[in-house]
Amino acid sequence: MTASEPTIAEPTIAEPNATEPTIAEPTVAEPTGTEGFGTLDGLISELAAGEKRWARTGLSERIALLSAVRRSVAAQAEDWARTAALIKGLSPDSPLVGEEWISGPYPMLTAAATLAESLSRIGRGRSPVAGARFGTAPGGRVTVQVLPHTPYEAVLLHGFRAEVWMPPGVSADTVRSRAGLAELHPRQTQGVGLVLGAGNITSIPPLDVLYELVAHNRVVLLKLNPVLERMLPVYRAALAPLIEHGVLRIVTGDGRVGGYLAHHPGIAHVHITGSAATHDVVVFGAGAEGAERKAAATPLLSKPITSELGGVSPIIVMPGTWSRRDLRYQAEHVATQRLHNGGYNCIAGQVVVLSGDWSQKDAFLAELRAAVRRAPARPAWYPGSDGRVEDAVAAYPGAERLGRGRVLIRVGAGDDPEAIRSTETFAPVLGVIELPGRGAAFLDAAVETVNRDFLGTLGANVIADPRTLRALGTGFRTALARLRYGTIAVNTWTGLGFLTAAAPWGAYPGHTLNDVQSGIGIVHNALLIDSPERTVVSGPFRPFPRSVLHGEFALFPKPPWFVTARSAAMTGRLLTGFAARPSWLRMPRVFASAFRA
């Protein structure tokens, strides 16, 4: 935020035993029969009235509501992280609890702040992307830098950047004039939206709520995934300003509840985060009849649906000349992409694409095995995980069990790669396939392979040392332009794109109900950019201080989201506190903790 931008009220992080404010609690439906559905009908009627109230809610009041949400999220941050850790079976003193801070309250705080800033700019007749750095990408594309977005981010995430690539032919002036989406016409509301919440990352459901309200002008009925039902009191308190304003209701229940709501005449739009199979059940129905409807392209659902559905994310490792420390660090990087949150991420890296001609291939794989083995133990907390692991092993009898339920599948010349590249395992299963070539020839083959053969288009990762990137020159960005993925990460993980409030998040555009792949539409996107094509995030190949010693200007240590980061819990807590109350004086403690990773 520049000095000319308005000041947003700064919340504080509540200590574990702090007295929480009294909050009016909405009715939560847990239907066991048709009588429960009557409760749902009542909540939808309440939201219909809330839509009228939202239409009368001006930009200044919406900004105040977002600031209030920021304060209430900060007040609940401790309970939020603790409850999430309990759901996932993490010990309170485990460094892995840092994941629950960084992927829970932290992105909610940054999203609320950035959305409030965007609305403030619109209210003053400016574009949300006013002042952003514009550039170009191959194919006649305009780019918008979205990370760093504030001076604080430029220091806290030094060496990392993110840019939004627009579709070919869209001008910078068009981007500026259309940024704002529904907030350009705040009185034109879009009905009651249903959000079928994710069950893996705790920030996803409330982030989706914010996007429905602000970007689409829809009031929201949030139906929690049963896996995260214990988060209900936290969500209820954290989102209390929206509940009290009448624009949000939260319900729990099983699949019957979700099905009833999705097809309810009072629901104007459905957004789902989950699997393609769940999406198809909602859209076409279950069983053989649902399959017939899908084949005939005759959906049961007669209303718009957007979705974020995961996929098989590749990790393309470019061959180069790496030091032993490079091999170890990047092996931990790949292990993190697979094992973060236990492997239960829609954006988890699933298949490493290696050059069979890389002289250091075996050394890298040895370090990768070691990194997977030494990652902290955690329970297989997501339902069905063990069965999915066994299915993968059955498909590849030569799979290596690396302890703690983790599996490495090296697809050999006699193996069929189809199973690992076309099934999202949603479990700690990591595949490795090899392609011939070096340099540009290998990169071209890798891009063609993942575009053609891999399920989904949510995210792709590319790891390449600076010398290799220099040798590829402009051809590297040309290759990125050919990668059909919604988020592409270079020397970082696509998860950073998820965490960046101003970055759009979703599948590559163009999917349909009948071939949904990784979904339809985007979320997050706190600068409210209209119809982006993709996000490209990048980071340093080496952590500080080796980054600087090797000519990379990046002052970032081992990232706190690495599964091997020993200080991740404290860093996550401090980052969340910083997001609640940004201050240069609070920054040294964050760095001190991060450098102990």
Q: Which residues contact 444 (CB under 8 A, 6 or more apart)?
A: 437, 479
Q: Assign 36 a pLDDT band (cuts: 50, 70, 90).
A: low
Among residues 153, 116, 129, 128, the alpha carbon closest in space to that of 6 is found at: 116
- CATH number of the domain where residue 319 is located: 3.40.309.10
Nearest to 230 by CA among 22, 88, 98: 88
- Residue 17 reports pLDDT greater than 60: no
Return the closest-CA partner of residue 8 out of 63, 45, 89, 90.
63
Please give the pLDDT value at position 68: 98
210: left (phi over 0), alpha (psi -120 to 50) or beta: alpha
Residue 370 domain flag: yes
Residues 6+ apart with CB under 8 A from 510: none
* CA distance readout (Å), 154 to 1, 12, 126, 151, 401: 11, 23, 23, 5, 41
Two structure tokens written together for 378:
């955690």
113 in a structural domain: no
Contact predicate 432/421, CB 8 Å: no
How high is the pLDDT of residue 491? Answer: 98
Q: What is the pLDDT of residue 371?
A: 97
Tell me the pLDDT tens digit for each residue of 415-472. Answer: 999 999 999 999 999 999 999 999 999 999 999 999 999 999 999 999 999 999 999 9
- Give the sign of the dihedral formed by CA 94, CA 328, CA 372, CA 87: positive
Q: What is the pLDDT of residue 404?
A: 83
Residue 535 lies in a domain: no
Q: Do the domain assignments include residue 320?
A: yes
The candidate with the shortest Cα–Cα distance to 507, out of 496, 494, 528, 521, is 521
In this predicted structure, the answer to whether residue 7 has a pLDDT above a threshold of 70 is no
Q: In 445-516, at which residue ranges do the beta strands (DSSP E only) sit?
A: 459-463, 487-490, 504-506
Cα angle 160, 163, 164; round to 5: 150
Question: Is 247 domain-assigned?
Answer: no
Q: Is the confidence at residue 4, as pLDDT, over 80? A: no
> Does the global pTM surpass 0.85?
yes
> Is the model's pLDDT at 406 over the cut of 70?
yes
Number of domains in the chain: 1
- Average pLDDT on 490-505 reads 98
> Does residue 572 have a pLDDT over 50?
yes
Which tokens is 437 given?
């070539």
Collect contacts of 118-121 with beta carbons under 8 A, ≥24 apart: 118/179, 118/180, 118/183, 118/526, 118/527, 118/528, 119/59, 119/62, 119/63, 119/66, 119/183, 119/214, 120/5, 120/6, 120/59, 120/63, 121/5
How many CB atoms are located within 10 Å of the residue 19 CB?
7
What DSSP designation does 541 have? S
In a domain, 214, yes or no: no
Q: Inform me whether the pLDDT recorded for 237 exceeds 70.
A: yes
Helix axes 204-216, 105-123, angle to 10 degrees: 10
What distances in angstroms separate CA 509 from CA 44, 71, 243, 460, 506, one per listed residue? 31, 35, 32, 15, 8
> Is 109 a domain residue?
no
**Dihedral over Cα of 199, 205, 211, 216: its sign:** positive
Domain that holds residue 366: 313-527
Q: Give percent of the chain with pLDDT exceeding 90.
A: 92
For the chain, how big is the Rg over CA atoms in Å? 23
For 163-217, write each residue's pLDDT tens digit.
Answer: 999 999 999 999 999 999 999 999 999 999 999 999 999 999 999 999 999 999 9
Q: Confirm whether 373 is domain-assigned.
A: yes
CA dist., res. 78 & res. 66, Å (int): 20
Contact 517, 454 (CB under 8 A): no
Mean pLDDT of 504-528: 98
pLDDT digits (tens, 9 = 90+) for 41-85: 999 999 999 999 999 999 999 999 999 999 999 999 999 999 999
pLDDT per residue as tens digits for the range 99-116? 999 999 999 999 999 999
- Distance CA(427)–CA(10), nearest Å, equals 39
